[in-house]
Structures are given as C-alpha cells and as structure tokens.
Amino acid sequence: DGGITQSPKYLFRKEGQNVTLSCEQNLNHDAMYWYRQDPGQGLRLIYYSQIVNDFQKGDIAEGYSVSREKKESFPLTVTSAQKNPTAFYLCASSILAGNTIYFGEGSWLTVV
C-alpha cells in the first residue's frame, strides 16, 4: 500500500537523551513536513522540506533537527535542547510544496 509510515508509534525516553523519529513515504512526494500536536491543540510546524537535500525551519524548530538525504525519508531528531518534548509528532507529505498534505499515523513521544 502507498502511504506514509512513521515509527515507532510509541517511544519513551529519559530526559537529556536525543531520540530520532522515522518517517518514510512511498508516494513519490517531493515535499515532506514534521508537525507537533499537543493534547487538545492544533498542529505546529517544526520543519519542512520541499526537495531532497533541502529543508527549512518551521515555527518551532528549536531543539529539533532533520535531514533529507533521500526523497522518501525525512527523519526527525528531538534533541535534549527541546524543553518540552513530550507530544504527538506527525509526519506528512505532498506531491509538491503547497499541494494537498497527507499525514502519517503519528508517533507518541514521552520523555520522563
């Protein structure tokens, strides 16, 4: 099936540790995105990438890092510099930047 796969679905980490969330898409989409959703709140854009080897900061990039070495992959690293990392993280993609955005199933990160 074509789609966006995020892993792991649930992740627990100790405070101070970096953690990397995986996002893979087989839709041949050029653009990929990472959002954060906190309980009862909307989406906030962390990073986006319009094309391979290029990415831009979103509204809340501090404490996060990304890479886009392959078209189908856009991993997100939550670093120890992120002050409130516990959240629901959503990866998304679109054919081109600005087209309809499709989401993965999300990853729950809990930092204790």
Partner 1 sequence: DAKTTQPPSMDCAEGRAANLPCNHSTISGNEYVYWYRQIHSQGPQYIIHGLKNNETNEMASLIITEDRKSSTLILPHATLRDTAVYYCIVRVGSNDYKLSFGAGTTVTVRA
- Which residues make up the interface to partner 1 (CB under 8 A)? 4, 6, 33, 35, 42-43, 45, 48, 58-59, 88, 90, 92, 97-106, 108
Q: How far is the CB of 100 from partner 1 (least distance, A)?
A: 6
Of the pair 50, 80, the CB lying nearest partner 1 is at 50
Closest Cα to residue 6, out of 89, 79, 71? 89
Of the pair 52, 60, the CB lying nearest partner 1 is at 60
Of the pair 63, 106, the CB lying nearest partner 1 is at 106
Q: How far is the CB of 73 from partner 1 (least distance, A)?
A: 17
Supply 50's token pair.
Answer: 């319009």
- Residue given tokens 């995020």 in the structure block: 6
Taking a C-beta distance cutoff of 8 angstroms, is the pair 56, 32 a contact?
no
CA distance 28 to 30: 7
